[in-house]
Amino acid sequence: MANLHLNVSEVLDHISLDCVIFGFHDNELKVLMLRLKHTNAYALPGGFLKHEETLEQAAERTLKERTGLDNIFLKQFKVFSDPNRDKLKKDNPEFLKNEPPEVVAFFNKRFISVGFYALVEFSKVDPQPDALSEACEWISPFADVEMFIDHKDIIDKALTTLRIQLNQQPIGLKLLPRKFTMPQLQKLYETILGRELDRRNFQRKILSYKILNKLNERKTGGAHKAPFLYEFNRESYKQALEDGLSGIW
Q: Which fold has domain 8-164?
A: Nucleoside Triphosphate Pyrophosphohydrolase (3.90.79)
- On the question of pLDDT at 230 being above 90, the answer is yes
pLDDT band with cut points at 50, 70 and 90 for residue 16:
very high
- On the question of pLDDT at 38 being above 90, the answer is no
- On the question of pLDDT at 18 being above 80, the answer is yes
Residue type present at position 29: L
Q: Answer yes or no: are the C-beta atoms of 118 and 173 closer than 8 Å.
A: no
What pLDDT is recorded for position 3? 39
Note the pLDDT tens digit of each residue in 170-201: 899 999 999 999 999 999 999 999 899 999 99
Give the architecture-level CATH label for domain 172-243. Orthogonal Bundle (1.10)
- On the question of pLDDT at 202 being above 50, the answer is yes
Mean pLDDT of 54-74: 88
The ranges assigned to domains in the chain are 8-164, 172-243
Note the pLDDT tens digit of each residue in 133-166: 889 999 999 999 999 889 999 999 999 999 988 8
Question: What's the rounded Cα separation, in Å, for the pair 176 and 111?
Answer: 34
Q: What is the DSSP string of 182-220?
A: HHHHHHHHHHHHTS---HHHHHHHHHHTT-EEEEEEE-T
The candidate with the shortest Cα–Cα distance to 32, out of 160, 121, 149, 111, is 121
- On the question of pLDDT at 90 being above 60, the answer is no
- On the question of pLDDT at 63 being above 60, the answer is yes
